[in-house]
Structure 1
């Protein structure tokens, strides 16, 4: 008798209430077995990677920041890329870097926090301030870096006059301080960067409003964007450790508000994220903008990530130093299960310490009542530690 026939015969012999319990127990048993197999495979694979591809830590190197950040040699780069490469099992991408998660789920205060505290009011964004008010041509400042957090993982970054928009989501629930129409009518968006193939990171309804914008997306999103009318030449797909270089000609303004066209070069590297990615591989980005006669501006955008000391030290060793970093703080900054997907305020400070960043910006925090309890303490902690 086959196993399937035996299970069917056993189910027929059971009373109705026991049949439901038998089915439920079977489902739980299969799920538990698959999860145990997944975790054992992940632990064994990562242990083998650590043995085959040793990666020096910042402490082991015993060198200055200037000698460590951005100075990985070819052998070190090979070991870093081989150790932190995607791990796919049962159709899901697993966590390849041990994450540092505080035990906030042990707190007795609960997730929601005090009910009598309200979220801070949003502040309207002056689009004209970002692109100037003189003349009809929208032009950002030609020098320096400007970072504006809009909502969730949506950020507007201006680097030497080149404007990037990250993970654009502008639906009514996102409560952005400006609309997409204001950005594209009064300003300009040169590049859109997407960290994950997920509705929380890309609102596809914005595609028709940015017909001339370049797209940098995870591998596998090209077809979906082309169906929405984006030209294939405007789309660049990247996966972990891929790099691309893009030349741009953009209008910029100076202190006297005069506008001129200049050449800029954008260098983008896709790097791993800490935490699990699920069916769609999540990634972070290192973005650099080079301008003739000016210092190169470097920005790290974390996307969906938790903090892993080994991973972020390796990223800093390969691509650092960074002028600004954006790191997600979970809604609630600690309670399980958000902590498995995003970091906490303490983790954002650790990112800045690991990569010796001048400024760290926390995204996602303060969006609902689950994070009211810890937002003031978290933001203060970041400012104090970085």
Structure 2
């Protein structure tokens, strides 16, 4: 489990990028099926759903970034990673789905996405799920358009776990099927000056369902989001909780990630968070968001990987500990894990 001291480690002391992530030893909690989750740094999470009749376990990766900088290297190198990626891309397990929340560089790292695609095989191709307007970014770097599916807010796709092609009309006729739903959040988008808010940003719901349509496991990925509006909390999160909750696992941002500018490189950050509240949840907001979506276990993300100082890296965790009611292992709890750490979250149906 990550502690304040873990986040203060220098990169050289962080986990070595030389191991393959192996979920075979992480398949249950006290004999019950669980969801395996590995924090890859920033907003990146690798998730394995409980194996229930699958030929192979299903692996989903959210917002992966293995780059050293959160900016395009040919434009501005920006703040360098404070915590290195826990492994190289070639040591990841086979990735069945890549889910992207929006097109900001620190969430949609096209070099990483292309490298993941190149590892896939014809009999098990990687599929990419993105919000409206983001497909063009992936196709431009060589990912086949046929393997990139765009969804609008509240759109869902049921995906048979044994199939190798998308089918929006797929029926839940297998032992367990996957349903992805693109859900609202409160952020923005853009990869340059002229495309600001030109594509959609989103959170995501992932449900593993049985033949009778009952959830076997449920996951919520908040992406990058604020929680507050000018008139109070954003109501979308309660709506998500009412429609799809409770969630066995929620992955929720607790910081803006870093100052991500030359100010961050010299150790400065903005003291006033008020104007950022609508696009980036504070640790206190993240706890409220988790309650709204009815999360049973919540893991923190979007902190410490890029940070202008040790203080900026550790402050989100200190504030999270003060705001939460319990650690992530407890029912309704919220906590953090170390970069590269794999944990097992019990599913409610077990």
| 2:203 aligned counterpart, secondary structure | strand
Q: Deviations over 1:96-142 (max 9, x none)?
A: xxxxxxxxxxxxxxxxxxxxx98235335785553438xxxxx9789
Q: Show the counterpart of 1:374.
A: 315
Q: Is the CA contact 1:247–1:263 (under 8 Å) kept in the aligned structure 2?
A: no
RMSD: 3.2
Q: Is the CA contact 2:254–2:300 (under 8 Å) kept in the aligned structure 1?
A: yes
| 1:296 aligned counterpart, secondary structure | strand
- 1:290 matched to 2:197: no
Structure 2: tracts of 5 or more residues without a match: 1-5, 51-56, 70-80, 119-124, 164-173, 190-195, 228-232, 259-269, 327-332, 334-350
CA shift in 2, pair 1:327/1:126, >3 Å: farther
- 1:345 matched to 2:283: yes
Q: Deviations over 1:308-363 (max 9, x none)?
A: 35221111111111111111122479843543421111112112222332111111
- 1:304 matched to 2:224: yes
- 1:147 matched to 2:43: no
- 1:190 matched to 2:102: no
Distance 1:166 1:196 in 2: 11
Q: 63, 66, 89: which is aligned to 1:180?
A: 89
| 1:150 aligned counterpart, secondary structure | strand
- 1:57-72 matched pairs, under 5 angstroms: none
CA shift in 2, pair 1:128/1:361, >3 Å: same
CA shift in 2, pair 1:338/1:176, >3 Å: farther
Distance 1:343 1:335 in 2: 14
Q: Is the CA contact 1:325–1:357 (under 8 Å) kept in the aligned structure 2?
A: yes
Q: Deviations over 1:185-227 (max 9, x none)?
A: xx21110001102221122113144242000011223333334
Distance 2:300 2:250 in 1: 8
Q: Is the CA contact 2:40–2:64 (under 8 Å) kept in the aligned structure 1?
A: no
- 1:235-314 matched pairs, under 5 angstroms: 235-249=148-162, 264-277=176-189, 278-279=196-197, 280-291=199-210, 296-307=216-227, 308-314=233-239
CA shift in 2, pair 1:334/1:236, >3 Å: farther
Distance 2:7 2:24 in 1: 34
Structure with the higher helix share, 1 or 2: 1
| 1:249 aligned counterpart, secondary structure | coil
Name the TM-score, length of structure 1 as normaliser: 0.57
Distance 1:249 1:325 in 2: 25
Cα deviation, residue 248, structure 1: 1.7
- 1:25-36 matched pairs, under 5 angstroms: none
| 2:235 aligned counterpart, secondary structure | helix
| 1:350 aligned counterpart, secondary structure | helix
Q: Is the CA contact 1:130–1:140 (under 8 Å) kept in the aligned structure 2?
A: no
| 2:91 aligned counterpart, secondary structure | helix
Q: Show the counterpart of 1:58.
A: none
Q: Deviations over 1:26-78 (max 9, x none)?
A: xxxxxxxxxxxxxxxxxxxxxxxxxxxxxxxxxxxxxxxxxxxxxxxxxxxxx
Q: 2, 15, 26: which is aligned to 1:123?
A: 15
| 1:347 aligned counterpart, secondary structure | helix
Distance 2:16 2:324 in 1: 23
- 1:317 matched to 2:242: yes
Q: Show the counterpart of 2:60.
A: 164
Q: Show the counterpart of 1:74.
A: none
Q: Is the CA contact 1:249–1:264 (under 8 Å) kept in the aligned structure 2?
A: no
